[in-house]
Structure 1
Amino acid sequence: MARLDEIDIAARVNPPSVSKVREQLLDYMAQTDMSAQEVAERTGYARSTLHFFIRGDYGRVAANDSHLRAALFEMMQRNPVRVSARSQGRLFQTESYRRIKKYFDAAVECGEVCLLYGPPGTQKSFVLEHLVAECNRKKQNGAIYVYASSDMPPLALLKRIGRQAGCGFKTQYTEGMLTRLLVHFSATEKSPAVIVDEAHHLHIHELELLRELHDRSGCGLVLAGSHNLYENFLRGRAQLEQWLSRIDHKDPLPGLSEREVYEIAASELGNGQPAKLSEKQLSTLVRACRVEDVFAHGADGRPAIVKYISVRRLVKVLAQHKMKGPAA
C-alpha cells in the first residue's frame, strides 16, 4: 500500500516516462556524485528499490512505478544542479540580485535569518533558484530550496525540507519529523540554510517550526515572498514575538532602475556589443515595463498607488523586440 507522502507527491507531480526519469536520474547522480543510497534517503525508498529502478527491473518488485517516478522527479526538480526551464536565461546583476545574494550568503555561511519581500518581477524566485543550483553544482550542500504551497500543513513543510536534506521521512507526526531533521542536521558538519519561497503562504504554526529548527540546529533561514510577508509577521506580533527578535535582515526588494533598464537592454540588443539607445527608446522601454503594485500600502497603512519596473516584463519586451528584428 502506498504511503501518504507517496500519494501526496504523485498528486502534485506529473513526471516524464520511466525511461526519461531513469536517464535524468543517472545524469543527476553523475553530476552530483550521489550514490543510490543517498538518492534513496532523499526520497524515502530502500536502496535495493533504487537499484531495481536503475537497472530497469522495477517491474519485478512492483506493478506500478508512478509513485517512485514522481518522488525521484520531484527530488531532482527541487534540488537542481541546473536551473529549471522556468528560470533559464540571463541572470542580470541588478540591485535586487546583489541584495538577494548578500542575504543568501549570510544564511549559508553564518546561519542568519533573512526576510526578502517584494512585488512580482523583482527576481526573488529566479535568483534563489540560480544560487541554490550553484551550491549544488559545487557540491557544497549549503542550501535547501523549499516551495511553500498555499495552505500547506506543517508536516508537509517539514517533509519537503527533509526530502531535500536527504533525511528519512516515514513518520506521520510533525514532532517526529522535526526530531528527524534535528538529528540529521546535527550529524552534518554544518547545517544547510533553508530557503523558503512563497513564504507568505506560511501560517504561525509553520513559522514556529522553522524558528525551532533554526534555534536548535543553527541553520540559516531565507524567507522570500510577496511584500505582505513582513506585514504577516507584524499582524501576528503577539504570537511571533520570538520570531521577530531573530530576524537579522528584512529587506523590501526594489524594481529595476532606469539605469539598469538601459544597461540590460543595451547588452541584450547589441549582438555581443553594447547597443546605443536613444532617450526616446529608453523611455519607451521604461513605460512598457512599468507596472502597478496593486497590493502596495503607504506609511499610513492605506492602499497607495506605487509603480515599479519589472525585470520579468523587461525580459519579455526585449524578447519580442528581438523577434521583430532590428527594424522594429
Structure 2
Amino acid sequence: MKEQDSTVRSPHAGTNYGIAPDQFELVIKALDEEQQETLRFWYYLAKEESWTLRQLAKHSGEHSTTLTRVFRGVYEGNIGNVCDRLENSRVAFKGTVANPDFTMTALAKRMFEIFDELRELNLVGLLWGEKGIGKTTVAEEYRRLNNHGKTVYVRCLARCTFPQFVHHVARSLGVTVKNQNQFTVREKIVGVLSAGQRLLIVDELHELFATMRPDMAANCCEFLREIYDRSGCGMALIGTERMISEFKTGTQKEILSQLLDRGYEFRLPGKSTRKDYEAMLKHFGLATPGAAEPDAAEIVKDLVDAHGLRKFNVHLRSGARRAKRRNETYTWAHFVEAFDNLATLSTAAK
C-alpha cells in the first residue's frame, strides 16, 4: 500500500535560496558564533516570511547575489564585513509586531519562562494540563516571538504513521523530504537542530496516543528522544493529562521511560485566575461588566466557568472585530451582539 504523503504545508514552503537548511548549517559551521547567529536570523526569517531573494535583499540591505553566495558557502570576499553589515541591519530591523489577539496571562508567563529555560539549558520538558486552557495559543505565540531559526513548532497530526510523523517534523524545519529515504531525512533533522541554541516544541503530543497504535506512538516518542540525544537541542513536549498518563502507566511505559527520565515535568494550572481575566479585559479596553451590562455579565460568567479563557478570548476578539468594522469604540454591546450572532449561527447549523 502506498504511503500517503502529509499535506501539511511547511512554514518554509515556496522559498529557495539555493541551499536547504541542513546544508546551510554545514556551510556556516566554520564561522564564529555571532556570525552564525546573524546569518541564521536572515536566512530563516526570509524562509518563514516566504520572501523572494529580492525581498530579502531589500530588508537586509545586502545584494541578492552576495546573499546567495554567502548562504551557499561560495562567497570569495570578506565574509566578516558582510556579517557586520547584516548584523547592523538586524539591529535596525523591526520585524516583530504586537499580536492584537494575544494576552500575556499567568499561564503564558509561566510557559514562556519554561521555554526559555529548556532552550538555554538544553533540557526536555513535559508540559501538561487540562484542555482548553490555552497551551497551544501560548506555544504558537512564543514561536512567533522567538523565531528566525531559534524555535521550531510541530503540532502532532492525528492518525499518522511513523514515517509521516518523521516527515512532518522535517517539514516544520524546512528540510526537504522529496525523494529522500527516512534515514537521510532523520540525519538532516538532527543536523539542523544541532546548530545553535534551538528549541523544538512538540504540541498536542497526546494525539499520538489517542489516534495511533500504542507501539507506533511510542516509536514516535523514541524518535524525539533520539533527536534530543543526538542534537542536544531544548525540547518542550506539550499535551493533556493523557500524555503524562501514557508515559507513566501506559502499556508502553518501559519504552517511554527513557524520554521521561531525561525530562522535567511541568504541571500547568487548570483554572484561570482573576488576574488573567482582568488582563484579558484590559487588553481589549473593557472594564468588568457591571449592573448596566447584565447580559454581558451572564455570558462572561458562563463562558469562563464552562470553557475557561480560550473561548472567552474568541468571543472578545469577535466583538472587537465587529466594533472595528463599524469604526466604533469597543463596548460590551458589541461583545453581546457578536456572541448572539455566533449562537444563532450555531443553532441554525443544528
Please report the TM-score for the alignment, with normalisation by the length of structure 1.
0.62
- Structure 2 CA distance, aligned partners of 1:266 and 1:245? 41
8 Å contact from structure 2 (residues 155, 203) kept in 1:
yes
8 Å contact from structure 1 (residues 143, 192) kept in 2:
yes
Equivalent in the alignment of 1:70? none
Of the three residues 300, 311, 314, the one matched with 1:313 is 311
Cα drift, residue 157 of structure 1: 2.5
Equivalent in the alignment of 2:22? none
Equivalent in the alignment of 2:126? 115
Of the three residues 238, 245, 255, the one matched with 2:254 is 238
Of the three residues 180, 188, 194, the one matched with 2:200 is 194
- Structure 1 CA distance, aligned partners of 2:241 and 2:5? 29
Equivalent in the alignment of 1:71? none
Change (3 A) 1:134 1:144: same
Change (3 A) 1:321 1:131: closer
Cα drift, residue 206 of structure 1: 0.4
Cα drift, residue 29 of structure 1: 4.4
1:214 counterpart = 2:228 = yes
Flag the structure with higher helix content. Answer: 2
Equivalent in the alignment of 2:145? 134
- Structure 1 CA distance, aligned partners of 2:258 and 2:131? 29
Instruction: Note the 1:39-50 alignment, pairs <5 A.
Output: none
Equivalent in the alignment of 1:146? 154
**Matched residue pairs, number?**
250
Letter in 2 for 1:8: D
Of the three residues 244, 248, 263, the one matched with 1:247 is 263
Letter in 2 for 1:99: R
Cα drift, residue 211 of structure 1: 0.4
Equivalent in the alignment of 1:67? none
**What is the identity percentage for the equivalent residue pairs of Structure 1 and Structure 2?**
22
8 Å contact from structure 1 (residues 288, 317) kept in 2:
no
3-state SS of 1:254 partner = coil
1:204 counterpart = 2:218 = yes
8 Å contact from structure 1 (residues 285, 314) kept in 2:
no
8 Å contact from structure 2 (residues 107, 268) kept in 1:
no
Cα drift, residue 102 of structure 1: 1.3
* Structure of higher CA gyration radius: 2
Cα drift, residue 318 of structure 1: 2.8
1:161 counterpart = 2:169 = yes
Letter in 1 for 2:154: V
8 Å contact from structure 1 (residues 148, 197) kept in 2:
yes
8 Å contact from structure 2 (residues 152, 172) kept in 1:
yes
Equivalent in the alignment of 1:227? 241
Unaligned runs of 5+ in 1: 41-80, 293-308
Unaligned runs of 5+ in 2: 15-46, 73-94, 209-216, 324-329, 334-350
Cα drift, residue 13 of structure 1: 5.0
Letter in 1 for 2:159: D
Please report the TM-score for the alignment, with normalisation by the length of structure 2.
0.59
Q: Which stretch shifts more, 208-217 or 277-286?
A: 277-286
8 Å contact from structure 2 (residues 128, 243) kept in 1:
yes
8 Å contact from structure 1 (residues 96, 254) kept in 2:
no
- Structure 1 CA distance, aligned partners of 2:288 and 2:238? 36
8 Å contact from structure 1 (residues 114, 248) kept in 2:
yes
Equivalent in the alignment of 2:116? 105
Letter in 2 for 1:97: A
Cα drift, residue 310 of structure 1: 1.8
